[in-house]
Chain A
Amino acid sequence: MIQFESVTYAYPNSVVIFQDFNWCVERGKAWAVLGPSGCGKTTLLYLLAGLRFPTGGKILIDEQPLERPRPHTGLILQEYGLLPWATVRQNAELGLQIRSFYGPDGKHAPSNDRPTGDVEPWLSRLGILSQADKYPGQISGGQRQRTAIARTLALQPDLLLMDEPFSSLDAPTRESLQNLTLELVAEQKLTTVIVTHAIEEAAILGQKILLLGQPPNTITQTIDNPNYGEPGFRESAEYLTLCRDLRSRIGGQ
Protein backbone atom coordinates (compact mmCIF):
# COMPACT_ATOMS: atom_id res chain seq x y z
CA MET A 1 0.00 0.00 0.00
CA ILE A 2 2.80 2.42 0.95
CA GLN A 3 6.11 2.56 -0.86
CA PHE A 4 9.07 4.75 -0.03
CA GLU A 5 11.33 4.78 -3.08
CA SER A 6 14.83 6.17 -2.43
CA VAL A 7 13.34 8.87 -0.22
CA THR A 8 15.66 11.64 0.92
CA TYR A 9 14.49 14.28 3.34
CA ALA A 10 16.41 17.13 4.93
CA TYR A 11 15.14 20.17 6.79
CA PRO A 12 16.39 23.44 5.24
CA ASN A 13 19.95 24.16 6.41
CA SER A 14 19.78 21.22 8.76
CA VAL A 15 20.66 17.57 9.05
CA VAL A 16 19.60 14.95 6.50
CA ILE A 17 16.96 12.77 8.18
CA PHE A 18 16.46 10.15 5.46
CA GLN A 19 18.86 9.27 2.67
CA ASP A 20 17.87 6.87 -0.12
CA PHE A 21 15.39 5.32 2.26
CA ASN A 22 13.25 2.44 0.99
CA TRP A 23 10.30 1.02 2.87
CA CYS A 24 7.16 -0.90 2.01
CA VAL A 25 3.94 -1.26 4.01
CA GLU A 26 1.37 -3.84 2.96
CA ARG A 27 -2.35 -3.12 3.23
CA GLY A 28 -3.89 -4.10 6.56
CA LYS A 29 -0.59 -4.32 8.43
CA ALA A 30 0.02 -2.59 11.77
CA TRP A 31 3.43 -0.97 11.93
CA ALA A 32 5.12 0.61 14.89
CA VAL A 33 8.02 3.00 14.26
CA LEU A 34 10.47 3.03 17.13
CA GLY A 35 13.52 5.11 17.76
CA PRO A 36 15.15 7.69 20.05
CA SER A 37 14.26 11.40 20.05
CA GLY A 38 15.42 13.23 16.96
CA CYS A 39 15.69 10.09 14.80
CA GLY A 40 13.01 11.27 12.36
CA LYS A 41 9.96 9.30 13.53
CA THR A 42 7.62 12.26 13.41
CA THR A 43 9.11 13.44 10.12
CA LEU A 44 8.35 10.00 8.68
CA LEU A 45 4.74 10.34 9.79
CA TYR A 46 4.40 13.86 8.36
CA LEU A 47 5.82 12.57 5.06
CA LEU A 48 3.21 9.80 5.09
CA ALA A 49 0.45 12.27 5.91
CA GLY A 50 1.40 14.47 2.94
CA LEU A 51 2.21 17.38 5.25
CA ARG A 52 5.93 17.33 4.27
CA PHE A 53 7.44 16.27 0.97
CA PRO A 54 10.66 14.39 0.19
CA THR A 55 13.59 16.42 -1.09
CA GLY A 56 14.50 13.37 -3.19
CA GLY A 57 12.83 10.13 -4.27
CA LYS A 58 9.10 9.55 -3.97
CA ILE A 59 6.36 8.18 -1.75
CA LEU A 60 3.56 6.16 -3.33
CA ILE A 61 0.29 5.26 -1.66
CA ASP A 62 -1.84 2.83 -3.61
CA GLU A 63 0.67 3.38 -6.42
CA GLN A 64 -0.22 7.09 -6.59
CA PRO A 65 2.48 9.66 -5.78
CA LEU A 66 1.65 11.48 -2.56
CA GLU A 67 1.38 15.19 -3.33
CA ARG A 68 -1.00 16.47 -0.65
CA PRO A 69 -2.84 15.16 2.45
CA ARG A 70 -4.92 12.22 1.33
CA PRO A 71 -8.65 12.19 2.27
CA HIS A 72 -8.44 8.54 3.31
CA THR A 73 -5.50 9.03 5.67
CA GLY A 74 -6.20 9.80 9.33
CA LEU A 75 -3.59 11.44 11.58
CA ILE A 76 -3.66 11.48 15.36
CA LEU A 77 -1.08 13.51 17.25
CA GLN A 78 0.10 13.35 20.83
CA GLU A 79 -1.67 16.54 21.95
CA TYR A 80 -3.04 19.83 20.78
CA GLY A 81 -4.96 18.27 17.92
CA LEU A 82 -8.38 19.35 19.22
CA LEU A 83 -9.95 22.77 18.83
CA PRO A 84 -10.11 24.17 22.38
CA TRP A 85 -13.17 26.29 21.55
CA ALA A 86 -15.23 23.37 20.25
CA THR A 87 -17.02 20.72 22.28
CA VAL A 88 -16.16 17.03 22.07
CA ARG A 89 -19.04 16.52 19.62
CA GLN A 90 -18.04 19.52 17.49
CA ASN A 91 -14.43 18.33 17.45
CA ALA A 92 -15.52 14.85 16.40
CA GLU A 93 -17.59 16.41 13.61
CA LEU A 94 -14.77 18.63 12.36
CA GLY A 95 -13.51 16.30 9.63
CA LEU A 96 -17.03 15.77 8.31
CA GLN A 97 -17.66 19.52 8.37
CA ILE A 98 -14.48 20.16 6.41
CA ARG A 99 -15.58 17.57 3.85
CA SER A 100 -18.99 19.15 3.41
CA PHE A 101 -17.31 22.60 3.27
CA TYR A 102 -15.46 21.54 0.10
CA GLY A 103 -17.89 18.94 -1.19
CA PRO A 104 -16.71 15.66 -2.77
CA ASP A 105 -13.96 17.27 -4.87
CA GLY A 106 -11.53 14.33 -4.73
CA LYS A 107 -8.83 16.58 -3.21
CA HIS A 108 -10.10 17.57 0.22
CA ALA A 109 -12.77 14.88 0.39
CA PRO A 110 -13.12 11.59 -1.50
CA SER A 111 -14.99 12.06 -4.80
CA ASN A 112 -17.53 9.43 -3.77
CA ASP A 113 -17.96 10.95 -0.31
CA ARG A 114 -21.44 10.82 1.19
CA PRO A 115 -21.03 12.26 4.68
CA THR A 116 -23.48 10.88 7.20
CA GLY A 117 -22.81 13.72 9.61
CA ASP A 118 -23.49 11.41 12.53
CA VAL A 119 -20.61 10.97 14.92
CA GLU A 120 -22.73 9.71 17.78
CA PRO A 121 -22.04 6.00 17.14
CA TRP A 122 -18.30 6.78 17.30
CA LEU A 123 -18.64 8.80 20.48
CA SER A 124 -20.58 5.91 21.93
CA ARG A 125 -18.09 3.27 20.69
CA LEU A 126 -15.22 5.25 22.25
CA GLY A 127 -17.08 5.76 25.52
CA ILE A 128 -17.22 9.56 25.42
CA LEU A 129 -20.87 10.16 24.54
CA SER A 130 -21.53 11.42 28.07
CA GLN A 131 -18.77 14.04 27.57
CA ALA A 132 -20.09 15.19 24.17
CA ASP A 133 -21.01 18.72 25.27
CA LYS A 134 -17.81 19.39 27.21
CA TYR A 135 -14.79 21.30 25.95
CA PRO A 136 -11.36 19.65 25.65
CA GLY A 137 -10.17 21.68 28.65
CA GLN A 138 -12.83 20.03 30.81
CA ILE A 139 -12.00 16.37 30.09
CA SER A 140 -9.06 14.07 30.82
CA GLY A 141 -6.12 13.42 28.50
CA GLY A 142 -7.43 9.94 27.72
CA GLN A 143 -10.86 11.32 26.80
CA ARG A 144 -9.20 13.94 24.59
CA GLN A 145 -7.36 11.22 22.71
CA ARG A 146 -10.58 9.22 22.37
CA THR A 147 -12.16 12.34 20.84
CA ALA A 148 -9.28 12.63 18.37
CA ILE A 149 -9.71 8.95 17.46
CA ALA A 150 -13.50 9.38 17.01
CA ARG A 151 -12.87 12.42 14.78
CA THR A 152 -10.47 10.45 12.59
CA LEU A 153 -12.48 7.23 12.38
CA ALA A 154 -15.68 9.14 11.51
CA LEU A 155 -13.97 9.87 8.18
CA GLN A 156 -13.61 6.10 7.53
CA PRO A 157 -9.88 6.16 6.77
CA ASP A 158 -7.99 3.21 5.28
CA LEU A 159 -4.65 4.40 6.68
CA LEU A 160 -4.27 5.53 10.28
CA LEU A 161 -1.17 7.42 11.40
CA MET A 162 -0.51 8.05 15.08
CA ASP A 163 2.30 10.13 16.55
CA GLU A 164 3.14 9.17 20.16
CA PRO A 165 -0.62 9.05 20.76
CA PHE A 166 -0.57 7.87 24.37
CA SER A 167 2.76 9.08 25.70
CA SER A 168 1.33 11.84 27.90
CA LEU A 169 -1.20 9.53 29.58
CA ASP A 170 -0.96 7.62 32.83
CA ALA A 171 -0.22 3.88 32.63
CA PRO A 172 -3.76 2.43 33.10
CA THR A 173 -5.28 4.92 30.58
CA ARG A 174 -2.44 4.20 28.16
CA GLU A 175 -3.02 0.47 28.40
CA SER A 176 -6.78 0.73 27.90
CA LEU A 177 -6.30 2.99 24.85
CA GLN A 178 -3.69 0.61 23.42
CA ASN A 179 -6.20 -2.24 23.73
CA LEU A 180 -8.91 -0.09 22.17
CA THR A 181 -6.59 0.75 19.27
CA LEU A 182 -5.89 -2.96 18.70
CA GLU A 183 -9.64 -3.68 18.64
CA LEU A 184 -10.42 -0.80 16.27
CA VAL A 185 -7.56 -1.62 13.90
CA ALA A 186 -8.81 -5.22 13.62
CA GLU A 187 -12.47 -4.17 13.41
CA GLN A 188 -11.96 -1.51 10.71
CA LYS A 189 -9.23 -3.46 8.84
CA LEU A 190 -6.96 -0.43 8.99
CA THR A 191 -3.39 -0.09 7.86
CA THR A 192 -1.65 1.66 10.74
CA VAL A 193 1.65 3.35 11.37
CA ILE A 194 2.19 4.26 15.01
CA VAL A 195 5.23 6.25 16.01
CA THR A 196 6.48 5.77 19.55
CA HIS A 197 9.61 6.06 21.64
CA ALA A 198 8.32 3.45 24.11
CA ILE A 199 9.65 -0.06 23.46
CA GLU A 200 6.70 -1.70 25.27
CA GLU A 201 4.18 0.23 23.18
CA ALA A 202 5.92 -0.73 19.91
CA ALA A 203 5.82 -4.39 20.99
CA ILE A 204 2.07 -4.20 21.72
CA LEU A 205 0.91 -2.13 18.75
CA GLY A 206 3.33 -3.26 16.03
CA GLN A 207 2.72 -6.33 13.92
CA LYS A 208 5.92 -5.16 12.32
CA ILE A 209 8.36 -2.77 13.91
CA LEU A 210 10.54 -0.30 12.02
CA LEU A 211 13.62 0.77 13.93
CA LEU A 212 15.10 4.18 13.22
CA GLY A 213 18.47 5.33 14.48
CA GLN A 214 20.48 8.53 14.49
CA PRO A 215 19.99 10.35 11.17
CA PRO A 216 20.58 10.02 8.33
CA ASN A 217 18.50 6.84 8.15
CA THR A 218 19.54 4.81 5.14
CA ILE A 219 18.91 1.16 6.04
CA THR A 220 15.45 -0.14 6.83
CA GLN A 221 15.65 -2.25 9.95
CA THR A 222 12.40 -4.15 10.55
CA ILE A 223 11.43 -6.72 13.18
CA ASP A 224 8.48 -9.10 12.91
CA ASN A 225 6.12 -9.56 15.81
CA PRO A 226 4.27 -12.82 15.01
CA ASN A 227 2.39 -12.87 18.32
CA TYR A 228 0.90 -9.39 17.82
CA GLY A 229 -2.71 -9.06 18.92
CA GLU A 230 -2.90 -12.45 20.59
CA PRO A 231 -4.86 -12.57 23.86
CA GLY A 232 -2.56 -12.36 26.86
CA PHE A 233 0.42 -11.27 24.76
CA ARG A 234 1.20 -8.44 27.18
CA GLU A 235 1.90 -10.97 29.96
CA SER A 236 3.67 -13.55 27.76
CA ALA A 237 7.34 -14.56 27.67
CA GLU A 238 7.42 -13.72 23.92
CA TYR A 239 6.49 -10.13 24.71
CA LEU A 240 9.32 -9.81 27.23
CA THR A 241 11.76 -11.40 24.78
CA LEU A 242 10.70 -8.98 22.05
CA CYS A 243 11.10 -5.99 24.38
CA ARG A 244 14.58 -7.22 25.38
CA ASP A 245 15.51 -7.68 21.73
CA LEU A 246 14.29 -4.18 20.80
CA ARG A 247 16.12 -2.68 23.77
CA SER A 248 19.40 -4.30 22.81
CA ARG A 249 19.03 -3.24 19.17
CA ILE A 250 18.34 0.38 20.15
CA GLY A 251 21.24 0.30 22.61
CA GLY A 252 23.53 -1.17 19.98
CA GLN A 253 22.88 1.55 17.43
Chain B
Amino acid sequence: MRRRDLLIAVLAILVVWQVFAMVVNRPILPTPIEVAQVFFVELQSGMLDHFLASLWRVLASTLLAIATAAPLGIILGQSKRMNSLLAPVVYLLYPIPKVVLVPIVLLFLGIGDLPKIVIIYLILFFQILVLVRDQAASLRPELILSVSSLGAGRRALFRFVYFPASLPAILTALRQSVGTAVAVLYVAELFATQKGLGYYIYLNGSTLFNYPAMYAGVVAMSLLGVGLYFAVDWLEHRLCSWQTAA
Protein backbone atom coordinates (compact mmCIF):
# COMPACT_ATOMS: atom_id res chain seq x y z
CA MET B 1 0.00 0.00 0.00
CA ARG B 2 1.25 3.48 -0.83
CA ARG B 3 2.21 5.84 1.99
CA ARG B 4 0.19 8.65 0.51
CA ASP B 5 -3.00 6.54 0.60
CA LEU B 6 -2.36 5.63 4.22
CA LEU B 7 -1.86 9.27 5.15
CA ILE B 8 -5.13 10.21 3.45
CA ALA B 9 -6.92 7.41 5.37
CA VAL B 10 -5.50 8.65 8.69
CA LEU B 11 -6.60 12.20 7.88
CA ALA B 12 -10.09 10.99 6.91
CA ILE B 13 -10.46 9.13 10.24
CA LEU B 14 -9.33 12.22 12.17
CA VAL B 15 -11.76 14.46 10.27
CA VAL B 16 -14.70 12.09 10.96
CA TRP B 17 -13.69 11.94 14.63
CA GLN B 18 -13.45 15.75 14.80
CA VAL B 19 -16.88 16.17 13.21
CA PHE B 20 -18.47 13.61 15.57
CA ALA B 21 -16.84 15.28 18.59
CA MET B 22 -18.20 18.66 17.51
CA VAL B 23 -21.69 17.22 16.90
CA VAL B 24 -21.83 15.24 20.18
CA ASN B 25 -20.17 18.11 22.11
CA ARG B 26 -19.86 16.22 25.41
CA PRO B 27 -16.82 15.39 27.63
CA ILE B 28 -17.14 11.69 26.77
CA LEU B 29 -15.94 12.43 23.21
CA PRO B 30 -13.02 14.90 23.18
CA THR B 31 -11.68 16.16 19.82
CA PRO B 32 -8.57 14.56 18.29
CA ILE B 33 -6.62 17.79 18.82
CA GLU B 34 -7.44 17.74 22.52
CA VAL B 35 -6.52 14.03 22.76
CA ALA B 36 -3.25 14.62 20.88
CA GLN B 37 -2.19 17.29 23.38
CA VAL B 38 -3.05 15.04 26.34
CA PHE B 39 -1.37 12.08 24.59
CA PHE B 40 2.06 13.75 24.58
CA VAL B 41 1.67 15.06 28.13
CA GLU B 42 0.56 11.63 29.42
CA LEU B 43 3.35 9.92 27.53
CA GLN B 44 5.87 11.85 29.63
CA SER B 45 4.00 11.34 32.88
CA GLY B 46 3.65 7.55 33.01
CA MET B 47 1.73 6.33 29.96
CA LEU B 48 4.97 5.29 28.25
CA ASP B 49 5.60 2.77 31.05
CA HIS B 50 2.13 1.31 30.51
CA PHE B 51 2.78 1.17 26.76
CA LEU B 52 6.11 -0.59 27.25
CA ALA B 53 4.54 -3.07 29.70
CA SER B 54 1.91 -4.00 27.11
CA LEU B 55 4.48 -4.12 24.30
CA TRP B 56 6.72 -6.43 26.33
CA ARG B 57 3.80 -8.80 27.01
CA VAL B 58 2.88 -9.01 23.33
CA LEU B 59 6.48 -9.45 22.15
CA ALA B 60 7.33 -12.06 24.79
CA SER B 61 4.24 -14.11 24.01
CA THR B 62 4.84 -13.79 20.25
CA LEU B 63 8.43 -15.04 20.49
CA LEU B 64 7.38 -17.84 22.81
CA ALA B 65 4.56 -18.86 20.45
CA ILE B 66 6.89 -18.89 17.41
CA ALA B 67 9.56 -20.84 19.30
CA THR B 68 7.12 -23.58 20.33
CA ALA B 69 4.34 -23.66 17.72
CA ALA B 70 6.56 -23.49 14.61
CA PRO B 71 8.69 -26.58 15.39
CA LEU B 72 5.61 -28.51 16.52
CA GLY B 73 3.73 -27.44 13.37
CA ILE B 74 6.65 -28.64 11.23
CA ILE B 75 6.70 -32.01 13.03
CA LEU B 76 2.93 -32.46 12.64
CA GLY B 77 3.08 -31.38 8.99
CA GLN B 78 5.75 -33.92 8.20
CA SER B 79 4.57 -36.84 10.31
CA LYS B 80 1.18 -38.23 9.37
CA ARG B 81 1.21 -40.45 12.46
CA MET B 82 1.88 -37.61 14.89
CA ASN B 83 -0.68 -35.44 13.14
CA SER B 84 -3.42 -38.08 13.27
CA LEU B 85 -2.67 -38.43 16.99
CA LEU B 86 -2.79 -34.71 17.81
CA ALA B 87 -5.11 -33.34 15.08
CA PRO B 88 -8.34 -34.07 17.05
CA VAL B 89 -6.97 -32.19 20.08
CA VAL B 90 -5.93 -29.22 17.94
CA TYR B 91 -9.28 -29.37 16.15
CA LEU B 92 -11.14 -29.09 19.46
CA LEU B 93 -8.93 -26.46 21.11
CA TYR B 94 -8.31 -24.19 18.08
CA PRO B 95 -11.80 -22.63 17.85
CA ILE B 96 -12.21 -22.01 21.61
CA PRO B 97 -12.20 -18.22 22.13
CA LYS B 98 -9.12 -17.94 24.32
CA VAL B 99 -10.43 -14.79 26.01
CA VAL B 100 -12.81 -16.95 28.10
CA LEU B 101 -9.72 -18.60 29.59
CA VAL B 102 -8.57 -15.28 31.12
CA PRO B 103 -10.18 -15.90 34.56
CA ILE B 104 -8.82 -19.46 34.70
CA VAL B 105 -5.30 -18.41 33.73
CA LEU B 106 -5.45 -15.60 36.32
CA LEU B 107 -6.62 -18.06 39.00
CA PHE B 108 -3.69 -20.35 38.32
CA LEU B 109 -0.93 -17.85 37.58
CA GLY B 110 -1.99 -14.93 39.79
CA ILE B 111 -0.71 -11.40 39.31
CA GLY B 112 2.21 -10.16 37.23
CA ASP B 113 3.19 -10.49 33.61
CA LEU B 114 3.01 -14.26 33.28
CA PRO B 115 -0.79 -14.76 33.04
CA LYS B 116 -1.06 -12.00 30.40
CA ILE B 117 1.79 -13.47 28.39
CA VAL B 118 0.27 -16.95 28.64
CA ILE B 119 -3.16 -15.88 27.41
CA ILE B 120 -1.78 -14.11 24.30
CA TYR B 121 0.59 -17.00 23.81
CA LEU B 122 -2.37 -19.39 23.63
CA ILE B 123 -4.06 -17.32 20.91
CA LEU B 124 -0.91 -17.09 18.78
CA PHE B 125 0.21 -20.66 19.47
CA PHE B 126 -2.81 -22.32 17.84
CA GLN B 127 -2.88 -19.93 14.91
CA ILE B 128 0.82 -20.48 14.12
CA LEU B 129 0.58 -24.23 14.79
CA VAL B 130 -2.26 -24.77 12.32
CA LEU B 131 -0.82 -22.62 9.52
CA VAL B 132 2.75 -23.95 9.85
CA ARG B 133 1.45 -27.53 9.99
CA ASP B 134 -0.51 -27.05 6.76
CA GLN B 135 2.44 -25.32 5.09
CA ALA B 136 4.86 -28.11 6.09
CA ALA B 137 2.39 -30.75 4.89
CA SER B 138 2.15 -29.03 1.51
CA LEU B 139 5.91 -29.21 0.85
CA ARG B 140 6.43 -31.49 -2.11
CA PRO B 141 8.22 -34.76 -1.34
CA GLU B 142 10.38 -34.15 -4.44
CA LEU B 143 11.83 -31.04 -2.80
CA ILE B 144 12.68 -32.91 0.40
CA LEU B 145 14.21 -35.81 -1.55
CA SER B 146 16.17 -33.44 -3.73
CA VAL B 147 17.68 -31.59 -0.75
CA SER B 148 18.26 -34.90 1.09
CA SER B 149 20.24 -36.08 -1.92
CA LEU B 150 22.59 -33.11 -1.41
CA GLY B 151 23.51 -34.63 1.94
CA ALA B 152 20.92 -32.97 4.19
CA GLY B 153 19.86 -34.90 7.28
CA ARG B 154 17.11 -33.86 9.68
CA ARG B 155 18.96 -30.83 11.09
CA ALA B 156 19.93 -29.44 7.70
CA LEU B 157 16.41 -30.05 6.35
CA PHE B 158 15.03 -28.03 9.25
CA ARG B 159 17.56 -25.23 8.72
CA PHE B 160 17.41 -25.03 4.91
CA VAL B 161 13.90 -26.23 4.05
CA TYR B 162 11.32 -26.50 6.81
CA PHE B 163 12.13 -23.30 8.68
CA PRO B 164 12.33 -20.95 5.66
CA ALA B 165 9.26 -22.66 4.20
CA SER B 166 7.26 -22.00 7.36
CA LEU B 167 8.21 -18.30 7.59
CA PRO B 168 5.30 -17.09 5.39
CA ALA B 169 2.90 -19.21 7.48
CA ILE B 170 4.27 -17.76 10.73
CA LEU B 171 3.92 -14.21 9.43
CA THR B 172 0.41 -14.85 8.07
CA ALA B 173 -0.57 -16.28 11.46
CA LEU B 174 0.81 -13.19 13.22
CA ARG B 175 -0.94 -10.88 10.78
CA GLN B 176 -4.26 -12.66 11.37
CA SER B 177 -4.02 -12.77 15.14
CA VAL B 178 -2.14 -9.66 16.20
CA GLY B 179 -5.39 -7.67 16.42
CA THR B 180 -7.07 -10.34 18.54
CA ALA B 181 -3.95 -10.60 20.69
CA VAL B 182 -3.99 -6.88 21.51
CA ALA B 183 -7.75 -7.00 22.18
CA VAL B 184 -7.35 -9.89 24.60
CA LEU B 185 -4.36 -8.15 26.18
CA TYR B 186 -6.70 -5.26 26.98
CA VAL B 187 -9.12 -7.63 28.74
CA ALA B 188 -6.30 -9.41 30.55
CA GLU B 189 -4.85 -6.11 31.77
CA LEU B 190 -8.12 -5.16 33.43
CA PHE B 191 -7.38 -7.70 36.16
CA ALA B 192 -4.69 -8.14 38.78
CA THR B 193 -2.25 -5.55 37.47
CA GLN B 194 -1.37 -1.88 37.76
CA LYS B 195 0.74 -1.82 34.61
CA GLY B 196 -0.31 -1.92 30.97
CA LEU B 197 -2.50 0.11 28.64
CA GLY B 198 -5.63 -1.91 29.50
CA TYR B 199 -5.30 -0.93 33.14
CA TYR B 200 -4.47 2.68 32.17
CA ILE B 201 -7.56 3.03 29.95
CA TYR B 202 -9.86 1.48 32.53
CA LEU B 203 -8.43 3.59 35.37
CA ASN B 204 -8.85 6.87 33.50
CA GLY B 205 -12.25 6.02 32.01
CA SER B 206 -14.05 4.39 34.95
CA THR B 207 -12.29 5.62 38.08
CA LEU B 208 -10.73 9.01 37.36
CA PHE B 209 -13.23 10.03 34.64
CA ASN B 210 -10.33 11.66 32.79
CA TYR B 211 -11.74 11.09 29.31
CA PRO B 212 -9.00 12.78 27.25
CA ALA B 213 -6.42 10.57 29.05
CA MET B 214 -8.63 7.52 28.45
CA TYR B 215 -8.72 8.37 24.74
CA ALA B 216 -4.94 8.88 24.77
CA GLY B 217 -4.69 5.31 26.13
CA VAL B 218 -7.02 4.02 23.41
CA VAL B 219 -4.86 5.76 20.78
CA ALA B 220 -1.72 4.23 22.35
CA MET B 221 -3.28 0.76 22.27
CA SER B 222 -4.37 1.30 18.67
CA LEU B 223 -0.83 2.39 17.79
CA LEU B 224 0.45 -0.77 19.46
CA GLY B 225 -1.84 -2.93 17.29
CA VAL B 226 -1.16 -1.00 14.09
CA GLY B 227 2.59 -0.89 14.83
CA LEU B 228 2.72 -4.64 15.28
CA TYR B 229 0.73 -5.13 12.09
CA PHE B 230 3.13 -2.89 10.19
CA ALA B 231 6.10 -4.73 11.71
CA VAL B 232 4.72 -8.04 10.42
CA ASP B 233 4.15 -6.40 7.04
CA TRP B 234 7.74 -5.15 6.96
CA LEU B 235 9.12 -8.55 7.97
CA GLU B 236 7.04 -10.23 5.27
CA HIS B 237 8.38 -7.76 2.72
CA ARG B 238 11.98 -8.39 3.85
CA LEU B 239 11.86 -12.15 4.37
CA CYS B 240 9.30 -13.36 1.84
CA SER B 241 9.97 -11.09 -1.12
CA TRP B 242 10.22 -14.18 -3.34
CA GLN B 243 6.42 -14.62 -3.10
CA THR B 244 5.69 -11.28 -4.73
CA ALA B 245 8.74 -11.43 -7.05
CA ALA B 246 7.40 -14.59 -8.71
Contacts and interface: CB of A to CB of B under 8 A. Distances in A.
Interface stretch (B46-54, B111-119, B153-161, B193-201): B153-161
Interface string A76-109: 0111111111100000001101110110000111
Contacts of B143: 80-83
24 contacts: A49-B145, A69-B148, A69-B151, A79-B142, A80-B142, A80-B146, A81-B143, A81-B146, A82-B146, A85-B165, A85-B240, A85-B243, A86-B164, A94-B160, A95-B151, A98-B156, A99-B151, A101-B156, A102-B156, A137-B242, A137-B246, A148-B146, A155-B151, A161-B149
Contacts of B164: 83, 85-86
Interface in A123-142: 134-138
Interface string A203-223: 000000000000000000000
A69 B155 CA distance: 15
A83 B161 contact: yes
Given A95-B151, A99-B151, A102-B156, A85 B242 contact: yes
Nearest to B140: A80
Interface in A63-84: 69, 71, 73-75, 77-84
Interface residues of B, number: 25
Interface residues of A, number: 38
A2 to B, nearest CB: 16
Contacts of B246: 84, 135-138
Given A49-B145, A74-B149, 11 more contacts: A51-B145, A69-B151, A77-B142, A81-B142, A85-B167, A85-B240, A85-B242, A98-B147, A102-B156, A148-B146, A155-B150
Interface of B: 140, 142-143, 145-153, 155-156, 159-161, 164-165, 167, 240, 242-243, 245-246
Interface of A: 46, 49, 51, 69, 71, 73-75, 77-86, 94-95, 97-99, 101-102, 107-109, 134-138, 148, 151-152, 155, 161
A146 B245 CA distance: 20
Contacts of A51: 145, 148-149
Contacts of A71: 151
Contacts of A95: 150-151
A75 B149 contact: yes
The 8 A-B pairs with the shortest beta carbon distances in the complex, nearest first, are A137-B246, A81-B146, A75-B149, A95-B150, A80-B142, A108-B151, A135-B242, A80-B140
